[in-house]
Structure 1
Amino acid sequence: MATMTGVARRVRRGGLAGVVGAAFSALAQFGLLVVVTRAFTAAEAGAFFTATAVALMAAGVAKLDAGNGLVYFIARAKTYGYLGISGYIRAALVPSAAVACGAAVLLYPRLGPLAVALPVMAAADVLLAATRGFGSVRPTVLLDGMVLPACQLALVAGAAVAGAAGWLPVAWALPYALVLVLAAGLVRGRVPRTPYLPGTGRDLWRYTAPRSLAGAIQAVFQRVDIVIVAALGGPAQAAVYTAATRFRVVGQLAGQGLAQAVQARLVEALADGEAARARELYQATTIWLVLLTWPVWLAYAALAPWVLGVFGPSYGSAAPVALVLAGTMMVATACGMVDVVLTAAGHTGTSLLNLLIAITCTVALDLALIPSLGALGAVVGWSGGVIVKNLLPLWQLHRRYGLHPFGRHTLPALRLRTWTLT
């Protein structure tokens, strides 16, 4: 068994790689936002942001959370030489791609050519997850964290130079095809094709089914506020709200980067009954998540009027939205990766219930506050859902496993000095 120091060191190496990718992705997305808001009217920008939010929600639903199911089974299969892993990949890929195709047909009247990208987005996510199941976060960092946002920024900038607002969704969607091709090549080179073992699909979806619904709710939860703002306040308000809340992607991507590095190890630790190792993983990632993101949130809260002015004169008035966002994300990051730990322990049903409660809270607050407060009402609704989504699993982990985001492993995690990317 790996030493406790060795575990934390490996987590930090992989976590740093994930955070580097997250930082690059956040900068590229910020650049894309500046390009769109500067080159087009608030109404045109809001229509584009709303369309991409709908596409991301639909793709998130269509993924069926099959990627996380793959991570779980590939990580557990390590002990017997990954026998039958190609069958698990097919069992995850085919249903999610089929659902994405159905979503594309249903949404084509609303999204147009952008809907065609949905199966590509879903398949790329599943294949990248397979690489993480083998313990390698590098493909996700490079393809999803760097190649995808860089290509999106370049193509959207080209559409902006041409003044072609109608081509923005196509420019944004095209890079997903490149990511899919590269991810498929990586998986094909690593996993030999083996016979489909009986029960493979049943085992995968018995575990994944509760998370499929939870993943769908999570995808909706992340972006439904933009759609509601557009519906109740119009596309111009949606553009202002998107600009003011775009920095939340910093916290989300940083947490995602750390989660991608640690998820497989958490599954192994909890499956082996090694509560001490799971506790160290949780506490080490929490302190680094706080250290990496809190300075960003404090700076954003202090500089919000000037930062938002980058998008244009009409966006500076959204500073109160930025203040609510910063405070909420600081609370959320201090809770650590609570939902990742909860699902790694196998409590997918509990995670689903938590998400249902959170999204109900968000939608109720949005419907009550957006008509009168606009973008500020939307961020208050989102904030309420985020607080619920983090505090509920935090309490559940404490009650069931005695796990806390901070503890005796916090300071040792800070004293480690090995920062080699793997």
Structure 2
Amino acid sequence: MSDVPLGSMARLRRLAFKQGGGGDAILSFGVRIGGSLVTFLSQLLIARWMGLAEFGIFSNAWVWVTLAGTLAQLGMASSTTRFAAGALERQDLAGVKGIVIFSQLAVFAISLLTTGVIAALVSLPALALTGGQKEALLIGCLCIPLFAQVDIGKGIARADGPAWLAYLPSFMLRPVLFLATLGAFHALGLPINAPAAVWAMLVALLLTWAVQWGVIRHHLGPALQGPPRYEPRAWLGGSWAIVAVDGYFMLVTSIDVMLVNAISGPEAGGAFYAASRLAALVSYVMFAISAISSAQLARLHAAGRHDELTALVKKFVVWSFWPTLLAALLMAAGAPLALGLFGPDFVSASPLLTILLIGLVVQAAAGPTKFLLLMTGEQNHLALALCGCAVLAVILDFVLIVQFGPMGAAVGTTITICVATTAMVWLVRRRLGFWSIIGAR
């Protein structure tokens, strides 16, 4: 890539980061940590402003947005990284422009259709939703196309350039704008309830999308000149399996919140959502490793450099596991204190937080296995395995929530993560010939 004339983004990568990607990982981690702190602060504020029930309504609406927005991307938020990185490697600028335009238009059309379907379902009298629940979900429907477009932009930016810059808009700018908008509502004396919080998120997504595409056009300008070339069958053919993969990962972090809200009520849903967001804090090291891994793994695999690929994966596994384990132990020890920041009613979710942390530690022990399988052309096998795990997640969560309430949701989610991680590690061993697990030779 040293001779690719892609402007300042490529030069920034060459000058700032070495082959191992350590600097990129550190900056990606910093972006994620900074964004998570702002997100955490905003969640603390709205939980205290709104109370447990309204916080549960907001969290339910937001997980619907994230799940629908992810599925509406047709897997292209991940596949654009692979296809655009390959096209850049070949100096195929027409292909780069084609995938950029096609991914935006295709995802926008599907997300609009998804928005209409969900809005129609929410309006059904049979669901017996309260006024606040229905209003929050309908406003959330407006967020779905913007959420999908921001994720597509992240995938395109990740194909060439430092991962931290690709993740900066969605993981740093969006929560900052969300908190600023909520603060403005509060300063104006407007009621801070679930619908108001979703309106604030809509404003944040719109501004984030505008800034993100301005940055992409600036840095990828030379690659977007000239006529585009479209290969929709190849792009969609390489993306369908990623729909299942992305759908699984969003489902396993969403279905528990949705079912707890539906079965146990908004109060239980709000407490469970707070525990799940705190548990997610320990996965930031894993996120930073995954952020820099996709393009590197794709290039090594495309070049046939299997030994280097194996060594890099094993390095990523070590980087993922030990910091995650330490963070999980600290979080479990301070669970009551951390949940108490949301309000006294949230402390009862401490056992849920501890159980959820177990699954994340197991997941970190395998490193960026999902990205490894996606970037090496094993997405079909991965999709089949994770489809089974998605079915397991729905069945386990439903049965266990009916029997044990939110505790059943935490146990079901953790079991599903452990089963899925085991399946991915086995697939790497079977298809690529090595064990992607901590401690394996």
The alignment's TM-score, normalised by the length of structure 2, stands at 0.86
Q: Is the 8 A contact 1:286 1:405 kept in 2?
A: yes
Higher relative contact order (CA 8 A, sep 6+): 1
Q: Is the 8 A contact 2:50 2:192 kept in 1?
A: no
Q: How does 1:9-408 map to 2 (within 5 A)?
A: 10-84=20-94, 85-108=96-119, 110=122, 111-159=137-185, 162=189, 163-165=191-193, 166-189=195-218, 190=220, 191-197=223-229, 200-405=231-436
How many corresponding residue pairs? 406
CA distance in 2: counterparts of 1:379 and 1:22, whole angstroms: 24
One-letter amino acid matched to 1:202:
R
CA distance in 2: counterparts of 1:322 and 1:125, whole angstroms: 28
Q: CA-to-partner distance for each residue in 1:86-111, whole Å, 9 max, x for gaps? A: 01111211111101111122223532
Change over 3 Å in CA distance of 1:131–1:262 after alignment to 2 = same
CA distance in 2: counterparts of 1:322 and 1:409, whole angstroms: 29
CA distance in 2: counterparts of 1:267 and 1:337, whole angstroms: 13
Is the partner of 2:62 in helix, strand or coil? helix
CA distance in 2: counterparts of 1:103 and 1:145, whole angstroms: 24
Is the partner of 1:246 in helix, strand or coil? helix
List gaps (5 residues or longer) in structure 1.
411-422
Deviation for aligned residue 1:61: 0.8
CA distance in 2: counterparts of 1:73 and 1:256, whole angstroms: 21
Deviation for aligned residue 1:393: 0.8
Change over 3 Å in CA distance of 1:7–1:98 after alignment to 2 = same
Deviation for aligned residue 1:133: 0.5
Is the partner of 2:253 in helix, strand or coil? helix
Change over 3 Å in CA distance of 1:8–1:283 after alignment to 2 = farther
Q: Is the 8 A contact 1:8 1:284 kept in 2?
A: no
Deviation for aligned residue 1:334: 0.9
List gaps (5 residues or longer) in structure 2.
3-15, 123-136
Deviation for aligned residue 1:135: 3.2
Q: Is the 8 A contact 1:35 1:160 kept in 2?
A: no
Deviation for aligned residue 1:317: 1.5
Q: CA-to-partner distance for each residue in 1:103-124, whole Å, 9 max, x for gaps? A: 1222235322321221111112
Deviation for aligned residue 1:406: 5.5
Deviation for aligned residue 1:233: 0.4
Deviation for aligned residue 1:7: 9.5
Change over 3 Å in CA distance of 1:393–1:8 after alignment to 2 = farther
Computed over aligned residues only, the root mean square deviation of the Cα atoms, in angstroms, reads: 2.3
Q: Is the 8 A contact 1:241 1:318 kept in 2?
A: yes
CA distance in 1: counterparts of 2:283 and 2:93, whole angstroms: 34
Is the partner of 1:63 in helix, strand or coil? coil
Change over 3 Å in CA distance of 1:306–1:358 after alignment to 2 = same
One-letter amino acid matched to 1:132:
R
One-letter amino acid matched to 1:330:
V
Q: Is the 8 A contact 1:26 1:249 kept in 2?
A: no
CA distance in 2: counterparts of 1:319 and 1:18, whole angstroms: 29
Q: CA-to-partner distance for each residue in 1:38-86, whole Å, 9 max, x for gaps? A: 1112111100110111111110111112121111112112332132110
CA distance in 2: counterparts of 1:246 and 1:79, whole angstroms: 38
CA distance in 2: counterparts of 1:91 and 1:257, whole angstroms: 28
One-letter amino acid matched to 2:99:
Y
CA distance in 2: counterparts of 1:238 and 1:54, whole angstroms: 13
CA distance in 2: counterparts of 1:323 and 1:409, whole angstroms: 27
Q: Is the 8 A contact 1:211 1:348 kept in 2?
A: yes
One-letter amino acid matched to 2:139:
P
CA distance in 2: counterparts of 1:33 and 1:270, whole angstroms: 41
Relative to structure 2, which stretch is displaced further, 350-359 or 161-170? 161-170
Relative to structure 2, which stretch is displaced further, 46-55 or 248-257? 248-257
Change over 3 Å in CA distance of 1:58–1:407 after alignment to 2 = closer
One-letter amino acid matched to 2:241:
P
Aligned to 1:420: none
CA distance in 2: counterparts of 1:94 and 1:202, whole angstroms: 15
Relative to structure 2, which stretch is displaced further, 210-219 or 312-321? 210-219
